[in-house]
Amino acid sequence: MQAAQTTEKPLTFIKSKADSPQGADTQVDASGTWTLAQIEALFALPFNELMFKAQQTHQANFPEGDVELATLISIKTGGCPEDCGYCPQAARYDTDVKADKLMNLDDVLEAAKAAKAAGSNRFCMGAAWREPKDRDIEKVTAMIKGVKALGLETCATLGMLEASQAQALQEAGLDFYNHNLDTSEDFYRSVISTRGYQDRLDTISNVRAVGMSVCCGGIVGMGESRQQRAAFLTRLANLSPYPESVPINHLVPVAGTPLADQAPLDPLEFVRTIAVARITMPRARVRLSAGRQELGRSVQAMCFLAGANSIFYGEQLLTTANPEAEQDRELLAELGLKTKQSSKSEVLI
């Protein structure tokens, strides 16, 4: 069965209230389209009111209150031709990342078995490509089949995808494709020049068209304004349908990248961003992604209260560090948060 094509609802500005977000209402209209003014108004709510609203939305949509664990692996590291200003894997920046070729199937499956044994629900394979070649797709489809056979949900993030490539990944059993909008359209231009915002929307649309679930989010703390954060969430929430998974990364400033010296975002603003994502995309898994190590336990606890219900789990993201799995298990236990049980029955190990 083919899923509906991802279409984008227009970004609507409420002219009379746009200059005064506090005065704008914070309820989505009957069509489910969010305006920028409504999302800015959510950001501007008193903190407790925002958290209460987010927690109400969360409990209504996820009464089980569990946290999904997703493990990341970099199947092809570094040497990327793109110029994403945050990324240590871009060949043009002088970072400590050593470029490596595509991993072999057995090593990927070993890593997936370890992730499964540690309690992970989803295995996400990332490659530092602008876009995969067709021969890369063949190799990745073998990985997808192998990982699925272990009873894990599969996700891949390989850069831009053509429709036929999306089809091949779907036929191999890929559950989710991750491709981020990253930020608002206007701020995007100051971070990335080698591919446009529309290219990203086209890839997301190709993924939707073959019936795969979409994992799409972005990065905050790159120097964008609150209005730009609100515009970014407006674009995500107005994707039709909105993504099933929404990774919210906090910038990890890496030496050698253009954003190396970026001052950190106020942690409370990060928590607000999570809360607004929860309210505007009520059924999505909102994932605390890169930058968790820097956030610390208390801010992460507030993020869970704000409606985050997924984390990247395992001591390594793609090239940067993540909290130790043991530390995460302790934090979740201390907060009384259950982890999501695998939805698959065909557990083979």
Q: Annotated catalytic sites, by residue?
A: 80, 84, 87, 124, 155, 215, 287
Write the CB contacts of 14 (distance below 8 Å, at least 6 apart in sequence). Answer: 24, 35, 37, 38
Site for ligand SAM in 154-183 (CB under 6 A): 157, 159, 179-180, 182
Stretch 33-72 residues interacting with ligand SAM (CB under 6 A) = none
| Choice between 51 and 204, CB closer to ligand SF4 | 204
Structure token pair of residue 182: 């990253």
Peptide bond into 241 cis (omega under 30): yes
Nearest to 202 by CA among 3, 4, 5, 2: 5
CB of 182 to ligand DTB, least distance (A): 9
Q: How far is CA 211 from the centre of its chain?
A: 19
Length of the chain: 349
Query: Which among 236, 131, 225 is positioned nearest to 181, based on CA atoms?
Result: 236
DSSP 284: S
CA torsion sign for 18, 54, 181, 166 is negative
Distances (CA, A) of 107 to 2, 129, 315: 33, 20, 17
Q: Which is nearer to ligand DTB, 248 or 275 (CB)?
A: 248
Helix, strand, or coil (residue 193):
coil
Applying CB under 6 A, does 258 fall inside the site for ligand SAM? no
Whether the Cβ atoms of residue 277 and residue 236 lie closer than 8 Å to each other? yes
Residues that bind ligand DTB (CB under 6 A): 72, 88, 126, 157, 178, 180, 217, 247, 249, 252, 289-290, 317-320
Give the one entry of ligand SF4, ligand SAM, ligand DTB, none that residue 90 binds, where binding means its C-beta sits below a cut-off of 5 to 8 angstroms depending on kind.
ligand SF4
CB of 108 to ligand DTB, least distance (A): 15
- Nearest Cα residue to 183 out of 276, 255, 249: 249
Binding residue for ligand SAM, selected from 36, 54, 67, 87, defined by CB under 6 A: 87
Closest approach of ligand DTB to the CB of residue 220, in Å: 11
Q: What is the DSSP letter of 339?
A: B
Least distance from ligand SAM to the Cβ atom of residue 65, Å = 27
Measuring CA to CA, which residue among 66, 51, 121, 69 is closest to residue 337? 66
Minimum gap (Å) between residue 87 Cβ and ligand SF4:
3
> Which C-beta is closer to ligand DTB: that of 37 or that of 318?
318
251 touches ligand SAM by CB under 6 A: yes
319 binds, among ligand SF4, ligand DTB, ligand SAM, none (CB under 5 to 8 A by kind): ligand DTB
CB atoms within 10 A of CB 333: 11
Report the residue number, 24 or 318, with the smaller CB distance to ligand SAM. 318
Between 219 and 311, CB nearer to ligand SAM: 219
**Least distance in angstroms from the C-beta of 269 to ligand SAM:** 16
Is residue 129 at the binding interface for ligand SAM, with CB under 6 A as the rule?
yes
Phi and psi at residue 307, in whole multiples of 5°?
115, 5
Residue 182 interacts, among ligand SAM, ligand DTB, ligand SF4, none and using kind-specific CB cut-offs from 5 to 8 Å, with: ligand SAM
Binding residues for ligand SAM, rule: CB under 6 A, are 86-87, 126, 128-129, 157, 159, 179-180, 182, 218-219, 249, 251-252, 254, 290, 318
